[in-house]
Amino acid sequence: MEKLRVAVSGAFGRMGREVCRTVLDDDNLDLVGAFDSHGKENDIGLELGRRNLGIKIKELTPKSLEECRAKVLVDFTTPMSVLHNIDISLKSGVRPVVGTTGITHVDLTRISEWVDRSGLSAVIAPNFALGAVLMMTFSSIAVRYFPQAEIIEMHHDQKIDAPSGTALKTADMIASNRQEEPLEKDELLKLPGARGAVQDKIHIHSIRLNGLIAHQEVIFGGLGQTLTIRHDSYDRSSFMPGVILAVKKVPVIKGLVYGLENLLDLQI
Same domain, 24 and 110: yes
Instruction: In whole angstroms, give the CA distance from residue 21 to residue 235.
Output: 14
Q: Listing from the earlier edge strand, what are the strands of the sheet with 121-124?
A: 57-58, 29-35, 4-9, 72-75, 95-98, 121-124, 255-258
My answer on whether 216 and 250 are in the same domain is no
Note whether residue 165 is domain-resident: yes
Residues 187, 55, single domain; the answer is no
Give pLDDT tens digits for 43-94.
999 999 999 999 999 999 999 999 999 999 999 999 999 999 999 999 999 9
36 close to 13: Cβ distance less than 8 angstroms? yes
59/41 same-domain check: yes
DSSP result, 245-263: HHHHHGGGS-EEEESGGGG
Catalytic residues: 155, 159
Indicate if 43 and 115 belong to the same structural domain: yes
Residue 161 has pLDDT above 90, yes or no: no
Query: In total, how many domains does the chain have?
Result: 2
> 208 with 79, same domain?
no
The confidence band for 187, taking pLDDT boundaries of 50, 70 and 90, is confident
CATH of the domain at 67: 3.40.50.720
**CATH code for the domain of 148:** 3.30.360.10
pTM comes to 0.86
Q: Residue 252: which pLDDT band, with cuts at 50, 70 and 90?
A: very high
Q: Please, are residues 13 and 100 in contact by the beta-carbon 8 Å criterion?
A: no
For residue 156, the enclosing domain spans: 130-233
CA distances from 230 to 136, 139, 233 (A): 9, 10, 10
The answer on 242 and 222 residing in a single domain is: no
In a shared domain, residues 116 and 242: yes
**Cβ 7 vs Cβ 65: under 8 Å:** yes
Residues 245 and 112 in one domain: yes
36 DSSP assignment: -
Residue 166's pLDDT band (boundaries 50, 70, 90)?
very high
Q: Do 226 and 250 share a domain, yes or no?
A: no
Establish if 268 belongs to a structural domain. Answer: no
Same domain, 24 and 149: no
